[in-house]
Amino acid sequence: MQFARKYLFVAVIGLVGFVAGWVVSRADERASGLAVIPTKLTQADLAGAVFTSFASVKTVHEEAGQTWDTTDAEIFLSPDRKFDAGVYESGPLALDIAEPYGVQEFMYFLEGRVILTSLDGSKVEVRAGEAVMISADWRGRWESPEGYRKIYVIYSPDGPLVE
């Protein structure tokens, strides 16, 4: 998959927060003399190799009468478990998010698309090469007719992320 420079630039902007948080959260390693090394994601990683070059978790979900697969390559999780980043892939799905989303999430889509319909009926369609930010209090409908792959950066202000 070829990535246009302007789309890669947007992904880099999202990852700047990831790298900054990673470096700051590793202050204990710097103090102990351990090396702090940035994590690079290559174009091949972003095209799907990340799921074999990094530890990833495959999950089969069953909800609301549908079944879909996801794969999550978590690239970073802060020691306090409030900051998380990685690459995520999902098959087609349509879900109603009745409870608040729960986390602040930046997403840059590498493949596919999602349609986010808020409770007031407003729709936001996000396609490959575009990004979106979802607030922790968002509720609505999440649809992806053909599935998607995204880079995500999550902050959980209310406490640690759970697996």
Q: Each residue of 140-163: pLDDT tens digit?
A: 999 999 999 999 999 998 888 775
pLDDT in tens, 90-109: 999 999 999 999 999 999 99
161 backbone dihedrals φ, ψ, rounded to 5°: -70, 140
The answer to whether residue 115 scores a pLDDT higher than 50 is yes
The answer to whether residue 126 scores a pLDDT higher than 70 is yes
**With bands split at pLDDT 50, 70 and 90, how would you rate the model's confidence at 84?**
very high
CATH number of 5-155: 2.60.120.10
Per-domain boundaries in the chain: 5-155
Instruction: Give which of 124, 113, 115 is closest to 148, Cα–Cα.
Output: 113
